[in-house]
Structure 1
Amino acid sequence: MELTIKSEKGFEYIDEGEGEVLLLLHGLFGAMSNWNQVVAHFSKSYRVLIPMMPIYTISIHKADLGGLVAFIEEFVKMKGLRDLTLVGNSLGGHVGLIYALKHKKQVHRLALTGSSGLFENGMGGSYPRRGSYDYIQEKVAYTFYDPAVATKELVDDVFEITNSNAKCLRMITIARSAQRHNMAKEVQQIDIPTLLVWGLNDTITPPLVAHEFNRLLPNSELRFIDRCGHAPMMEHPEIFNAYFEKFLQKHPLPTKSLTA
């Protein structure tokens, strides 16, 4: 599915379909295109939005989780969104957790996949080395079970990011903010239905992280995907979509939300 990127009041975003709102949040090295197959499937029955988070353009003094959450708040307000289902991968899951805690009346369902917030092994244990394409290629491939998912286009994008002083500085600052912000105590307050979809071969947020989220989140269910790394919606979109669709059907929005 060819996604159309819209621009409005300083935001770039995808907005496809009609109905209940699914708000998708990408990760640190992510992009809106990471969700292509999810949008293609769910935009037939839902309104699917993906804001491009300003990870590499945000003011340096706002380059942390708080700055990204504020950005999502502004986006939601600008689009007049309500009764949200938040879906986050990696850093996007972390942002989604904080947003859900701050806006309990707005968020009715939550789905996390490879989310940070408890523990993450970023880029295989080190910050990206600049100037070495082979190194970046290796580290991007490390994200997936199948290295072939790390296409040249994806590697080129990450290589460009790591060779920009400004982008790299913001990325590192945000990554450190995420590592400092452990949510083990906070997530226990999130009692909305939460789906956890995890790759059994995730080396960045390993399966033990998924089990810990499942233990701490009081209304969560956990699904694993075999032969899958840190981005299940990219590596096994059909399985991810099936789990997510079943979850949405199992937890319909409150009637008052649909009629208000």
Structure 2
Amino acid sequence: MAKEFKKEGKYNYLEAGEGTPIIILHGLMGGLSNFDGLVDYFPEKGYKVLIPELPLFTNPLLKTNVRNFAKFLKEFIIYKKFEKVILVGNSLGGHIGLLYAKYYPEYVQALVIIGSSGLYESAMGDSYPKRGDKEYIRRKTENVFYDPSIATPELVEEVYNTVNDRTTLVRTLAIAKSAIRHNMGKDLPKMNTPTCIIWGRNDNVTPPEVAHEFHEKLPDSDLFWIDKCGHAAMMEHPQQFNEILHSWLEKRGF
């Protein structure tokens, strides 16, 4: 399936396929390539897959927060003239999807969260990146995965360059603090969006008890586990992830 990267006004996004729109929301350190498995799979199953670049490091500092990222998503969905969408979010992307579903439930057909923040401070990691320490960055990047070999030298370099830029680091800290402030614990029981929770059994960033709490508090949710898997299930086990998600979407009639 052909993928097309588009630049239109303030929107940069990847698009593939035709059909029911699935919008993928990347995390704080997550590139668009993290979702290659979904982009290759779901257009063949009758879905239009889009990954917008979120303005994590381009918004003014005062607008660098989860609430404004949810507003950006709303503007993007209006721009694309979609009535209802399926949102798939990993880590911070899951948090943005949850907040969007809280504010605009009528526009969300279904929500899928993977290693999402939104409940605990630990969801953003137990410490913040240290500038100039590549070995530290390598260890932290490897800790995201069950299989540390997925943290390739290229991925480590990408993360290192991100946190070693002072402007980017300031925004990273602002986003992390915003995620803590926008705790969703009290909101979840009032949210009736059908939600698929897919979690790595060995997630060190958002541990299994976070997934259990999301499942307990979200009224219409299903929880699925992937063994030998860390914080980014769609990267570590793309085939199993796609099969779980596709089966859930079919069962729910999406």
Q: For the residues of structure 2 that align with 1:114 and 1:123, how far apart are their CA atoms?
A: 10
How far does the alpha carbon of each residue in 1:120-175 deviate from its partner, in whole angstroms, 9 at most, with x for none?
A: 52564110000011111111011000001111121111111111111111111011
**Are 1:216 and 2:209 counterparts?**
no
What residue is the counterpart of 1:183 in the other structure? 184
What residue is the counterpart of 2:108 in the other structure? 107
What residue is the counterpart of 2:6 in the other structure? 6
What residue is the counterpart of 2:129 in the other structure? 128
Alignment size in residue pairs: 253
Q: For the residues of structure 2 that align with 1:135 and 1:146, how far apart are their CA atoms?
A: 17
Residues 14 and 49, structure 1, Cα contact 8 Å, conserved in 2? yes
**Are 1:198 and 2:190 counterparts?**
no
**Are 1:82 and 2:83 counterparts?**
yes
What residue is the counterpart of 1:17 in the other structure? 17
Q: For the residues of structure 2 that align with 1:187 and 1:124, how far apart are their CA atoms?
A: 22
Q: How does 1:1-260 map to 2 (within 5 A)?
A: 3-44=3-44, 45-121=46-122, 124-253=125-254
Runs of 4+ in 1 over 6 A off after TM superposition: none
TM-score, with length taken from structure 2: 0.96
Check 1:119–1:151 CA distance in 2 against 1; reply closer, same or farther (3 A cut): same
What residue is the counterpart of 1:258 in the other structure? none
Residues 21 and 82, structure 1, Cα contact 8 Å, conserved in 2? no
Q: What do you get for the CA RMSD once the two structures are aligned?
A: 1.3
Check 1:147–1:120 CA distance in 2 against 1; reply closer, same or farther (3 A cut): farther
Q: For the residues of structure 1 that align with 2:87 and 2:247, how far apart are their CA atoms?
A: 16
TM-score, with length taken from structure 1: 0.94
Q: For the residues of structure 2 that align with 1:162 and 1:26, how far apart are their CA atoms?
A: 17
Q: What secondary structure does 1:40 align onto?
A: helix
What residue is the counterpart of 1:256 in the other structure? none
Residues 22 and 88, structure 2, Cα contact 8 Å, conserved in 1? yes
What residue is the counterpart of 1:257 in the other structure? none
Q: For the residues of structure 1 that align with 2:55 and 2:156, how far apart are their CA atoms?
A: 19
Q: For the residues of structure 1 that align with 2:125 and 2:54, how far apart are their CA atoms?
A: 23
Q: For the residues of structure 2 that align with 1:80 and 1:62, how far apart are their CA atoms?
A: 24
How much has 1:2 moved relative to structure 2?
A: 7.5
Q: What secondary structure does 2:106 align onto?
A: coil
Name the aligned partner's letter for residue 134 of structure 2. Answer: Y
Residues 111 and 193, structure 2, Cα contact 8 Å, conserved in 1? yes
How much has 1:113 moved relative to structure 2?
A: 0.6
Q: For the residues of structure 1 that align with 2:24 and 2:127, how far apart are their CA atoms?
A: 27
How far does the alpha carbon of each residue in 1:81-119 deviate from its partner, in whole angstroms, 9 at most, with x for none?
A: 221111110000000011011111110111111001112
Q: What secondary structure does 2:49 align onto?
A: strand
Residues 11 and 52, structure 1, Cα contact 8 Å, conserved in 2? yes
How much has 1:4 moved relative to structure 2?
A: 3.3
